[in-house]
Structure formats: C-alpha cells, structure tokens
Amino acid sequence: MSAPGQNYLNASTGLRSWLLTTDHKRIGILYAVAVTTFFLLGGIFALLVRTELAAPGETIMGPDTYNQAFTLHGVVMVFLVIIPAIPGILGNFVLPIQIGAKDVAFPRLNLFSWYIFIIGALLALSGWLVIGQVDTGWTFYTPYSSDGSTSVLWLTTAVFIAGFASILTGLNFIVTVHKMRAPGMTWNRLPLFVWAIYATAIVQVLATPVIGITMVLLFLERLMQIGIFDPALGGDPVLFQHFFWFYSHPAVYIMILPAMGIISDLMGTFSRQQVSGYTFIALSSVAIAFLGFLVWGHHMFVAGQSAISSIIFSMLTFLIGIPTGIKVFNWVATMYKGSVSLKTPMLYALMFLFLFTIGGLTGIMVGVLAVDVHLHDTYFIVAHFHYVMMGGALIGLIGGLHYWWPKITGRLYNETLGRIAAVLVFIGFNLTFFTQFIMGSRGMPRRYHDYAGLLEQYPEFTALNLASTAGSYILALGLFMILFYALLSLIRGRKAPANPWGAVTLEWTHTDSIPELHNFEKVPLVTRGPYDFHLADDVFGGRDAVQGTT
C-alpha cells in the first residue's frame, strides 16, 4: 500500500528511478517520449519527400537521397512509431487500470521490452548515420536488399531486435488480461479498448516472429551466400514478398486494432451511451486478428502468383471488410442513440470514422483484381495506406492521448487550441492525401523522384503535387500545435478533476486525476459494464457509488 498522496509521478524522482522502473504507467511514459521523438524524425523525412515533389525536376535533393529519405520515413514511421505507439503508450498505461489490476503480469519483462525497443531503434538510426544509407524502401524487397549496400543488414538487424519488444509486450498483455482482472470483471464487462489490445497482442505474438525469421534469412543470404531469395544462388525473390506480407498484413492490424478500441471508448463516453453492439464489436476485433493472417496475397496480385490464388485472396479481402464494417455501423448507431459532446477527443473520433472509412473502402477497391492491376504501385496505394495508417492508427492515438491526458498528467489542456489543431490536422491530411488518390488513378507512379516526364500527358500533376505538399505543411502545423499545448498544459495547465469526461470505466471512477503508485486504494469490485451510463448515479464524485470496492 502506497503512502497517502503518493502517485506514480512523485513516488520516486530522478532519472535512475525512471530508467529502472517497473511501474506500467511510467513505462508508458517512456514509450511516449521515445515514440514522439521518432515521430518527429519520421515527419521530417516526410516533409523532405513532399518538398522534393512540390515541383517537377530536382527541387532539394537528388534521386539517391530521395530514395534514402522515403525509406527512412517508412522504416521510422512503421517500425518505430505506429506499431509500438498505442500498445506501448496507452496499452501500458491504461489497460491494467481498466481491468482493475495493480500492474501488468510481468513488470520486469515490461521494462525489458522497452529497452529492447530502444536498442533496436538506436541500432537502426546509428546504422543510417554511421554505416551508410539504405534505399530499398521500408519493405526491404529483394532483389534491392539482396544486391544493394550491405548497410541494409544493419537496418534489418535492428528490425529483428525491435520485433522482440512487440512479441514480449503482446505476451505480457495476454497474460495480464487472462489472469489479472479484478473480481467481477468478466469478459463481457471488459472495456472495448482492452478487447482491441488483447486481439492485437495475439497478432503480435503469432505474426512478429515471421518478420524476424525473414530478416535472419536475408542476413544469412547476404553474409553466407545461401540461396534463399537471390535467383543467382537458386533462390526466389517472390518468396521474400510472401514472408514479408504474411507478417506485414497482420501488422496492419497491430497498428489499427488498438485505435479501433480507443474509438469505441470515445464513442461511448462522448455519446453518453452504451456502445451499440458491444458483443459484436468485441468479437469483431478477434475476427479481424484471425482473418488478417489469410489475406497477405492481395499485396501480390501482379507478382506472378496463380490466378486461383489471386481470386481466393481477393475474396478473403472482401471478407475481412465485414468485421470492420460491423465496427463502423455500431459506432454510428452509438452516436445516433446518444447525446454527442464535441470535445477534442470526440473530434478525433469523428475524424477517424471519416478517414478510416475512406481508407477501408479504397482497400476493398484495390482488392478487386482488375482494379488493382491498374492502381498497383501508383499514388492511389500511397493514399489508401495513409488513410488507414495515419487517418486510422495515428488519429486514433492522438484522440486517445487527448482523452487520457488528464489521467496521465493530472492537467487539462486548452480545449480551444485542441479544436483548432484538430481542424488543421483534418484539412491538412485530406489536402495531402486525397489529391494522391486523383494522381494515382491517373497513373502517377509511387516511389519516383521526379514526374517531369509525365507532364506532357498529365499537366495537372504539377498542381496536384503542389497542393499535396501544401497540405503536408498544414498537417505539420496542426501536429506541432498539439505538441505545443500539450507541453504548455504540463507547465501551466489547470489541475484536472478525477473524471473530467464523466466516463464510467475504472480508470476514471476509481483513481485520482493522477493514479497512485499501485493504481487503487482497494481492489475494485466490478458490478456493471464499462458503458452503463444509466447505472452511474455519480460518475463525477463518489467513486464507490458507481462500482463497489472490496
């Protein structure tokens, strides 16, 4: 039992206490600092790429530098930001409190996971700075990675190491959800964020070893000249694509499923309503995790696979849209039945609903064989990918951070600035990427340093690229505004009440504005569901009036 007034921030001070902590809340903060740093770095590379493409011809960099910039943008954003962000930050901080636990099942393993992640990240960045640049793209496709600079081995080793952090985190969350739930916290009383993190953890444990093995095989081929992917040695370069996408398509759901869980919590809280179709949303997360392993071949419709394989993967692509559609329709039904409050977190939830729906529908479009042949390797795919990954995963993360910010920091941010930043992000994002749908549908190829040779047939590419680049700077302005008022709230923000949103999950009803060291004064006794607002007589004050304690 911690001393009165002692919370996780003031329980112990000094850098050493943070670097050796086993408190899940502090580890979540450590992930937040690391991911924010890498996000800024990946964003710089993105702005460099868009600046180069603002006008035809060479603008600020040559083709080799351009290839290196978009490779690093992809590697940093995918492996160091989107995949670890929500599980590492909000999964660590929120999940144990939401199920009434004092910590995760394996606190030391949790800290070890963070160190593995940092080692992998530092290895990747030091390899780029010291060993040499990599220009293969974030997918490391052979033969580029087989025949190019040996510096690619440094980066693939970093990805291999960072993957262990994902595996260990997933294992920790699975055991935590199974074994650490408070009395009365049955499976049908779990918050939907917990369901989403649980489904994500299953994918992390089962899929991540595949990318690790693939990186090892690539390393062995380059180091020992073993014929695996290189045709000159008797290998098959398409085999690399099968291995890579068998991991990377489930990895899409490592990125997006936690965001869906966040949106479910936001929809319930800011609609003041039981989430419509709770059971269907919960089980759809598990269904998405399962089906995600069956559709990797839709990335390879033009790679020479058999016609029957392409037809099967196309059908499975349509099938995975069903559990995703269940979530979207139930979120809309939740708002329809509720009393919607347009606070900043809810603005991001609505933004997610709009952007992710576009990303999902365009994903179904390119699941059609005839359409994919036309659009493959064009900017249409770039736009689709970003509407899902950034419009979905990162927007969900931003919404979740705004929602749980008072709980994490004990401070309130400026709501007006929050809404202005949300509008800038929405406008900037759509201006950046919707124009790329248009360019891609007209045939502009992705990964190209220059498009001057296409202007005679498609003169509109100049204006569209300029608009896309302008949108990227508006988007960056909105994101920097978020960082600004977040830091400002830490310095001079108003002290947050224990439950500023009137939510009814355990982290809001049973903890103070900054949770104490072991989360709860007493072990909660859960007597109702996570969105039963009609049973909560006093969600702002008496914690024991909402749920019992034991």
Q: What's at 394, amino acid-wise? A: L
Q: State the Cα–Cα distance between residues 493 and 487, nearest whole angstrom.
A: 9
CA 258 to CA 422: how far, in whole Å?
20
How sure is the predictor about 541, in pLDDT bands with cuts at 50, 70 and 90? Answer: very low
Strand, coil or helix: 343? coil
Distance of CA 191 to the CA centre of its chain: 19
Tokens for 174?
Answer: 């699975």
What pLDDT is stored for residue 106 in this prediction?
Answer: 95
pLDDT by residue (tens digit) across 50-86?
Answer: 999 999 988 999 998 998 899 899 999 999 999 999 9
The rounded distance, in Å, linking the Cα atoms of 250 and 292 is: 5
pLDDT in tens, 121-151: 998 888 777 656 788 888 888 888 777 666 7
Q: Does 550 have pLDDT greater than 70?
A: no
pLDDT beyond 50 at 202: yes
Contact call for residues 446 and 468 (beta carbons, < 8 A): no
Of the candidates 242, 357, 365, the one whose C-alpha atom is nearest the C-alpha of residue 309 is 242
Residues of the chain with pLDDT > 90: what percent? Answer: 71
Residue 481 banded pLDDT, cuts 50, 70, 90: very high
Cis peptide bond upstream of 143, omega within 30: yes
Mean pLDDT of 331-357: 94
Mean pLDDT of 395-401: 97
Residue 5 lies in a domain: no
Q: Provide the β-strand partners of residue 519.
A: 516
With a cut of 50, say whether residue 436 has pLDDT above it: yes
Domain count of the fold of the chain: 1
Residue 15 domain-assigned (yes or no)? no
In whole angstroms, what is the distance from residue 266 CA to residue 268 CA?
5
Core vs surface per residue 8-26: b (16+ CB within 10 A) or e = bbebeeeeeeeeebebbbb
Top-confidence residue, 423 or 493? 423
Q: Report if residue 254 sits inside a domain.
A: yes
Query: CB neighbours (10 Å) of residue 443?
Result: 15
- Of 149, 61, 137, 147, the residue nearest 449 (C-alpha): 61
Q: Positive or negative, the Cα torsion across 438, 444, 448, 450?
A: negative
Q: Give the residue numbers spanning the domain of 228.
A: 23-543
Q: How far, in Å, CA of 127 to CA of 130, rounded?
A: 5
Burial class for 458, CB neighbours closer than 10 Å (0-12, 13-18, 19+): middle
Whole-number average pLDDT of the chain: 90
**What is the residue type of 508?**
W
Q: How does DSSP classify residue 233?
A: G
DSSP string, 507-548: HHHSS-SS-BTTB-SS-EE--S-TT-GGG-S-SSS-HHHHSE
51-85 burial code (b ≥16 CB/10 A, e <16): bbbbbeeeeebeeeebbbbbbbbbbbbbbbbbbbb
- CA–CA gap between residue 147 and residue 152 (Å, rounded): 10
Question: Is 548 a member of any domain?
Answer: no
Q: Is the pLDDT of residue 537 over 60?
A: no
Specify if 185 maps to a domain. Answer: yes
Q: In the prediction, which pLDDT does 8 show?
A: 82
% of the chain surpassing 70 pLDDT = 95
Cis status, amide bond into 87, omega within 30 of 0: no
CATH label of the domain that carries residue 418:
1.20.210.10
- 265: closest CA among 508, 511, 518? 508
**pLDDT reading at 414 higher than 90:** yes
pLDDT tens sequence across 260-282: 999 999 999 999 989 999 999 99
Whether 221 maps to a domain, the answer reads: yes
459 domain residue, yes or no: yes
460-492 helix and 415-441 helix, angle to the nearest 10 degrees = 160
Nearest to 127 by CA among 100, 153, 101, 165: 153
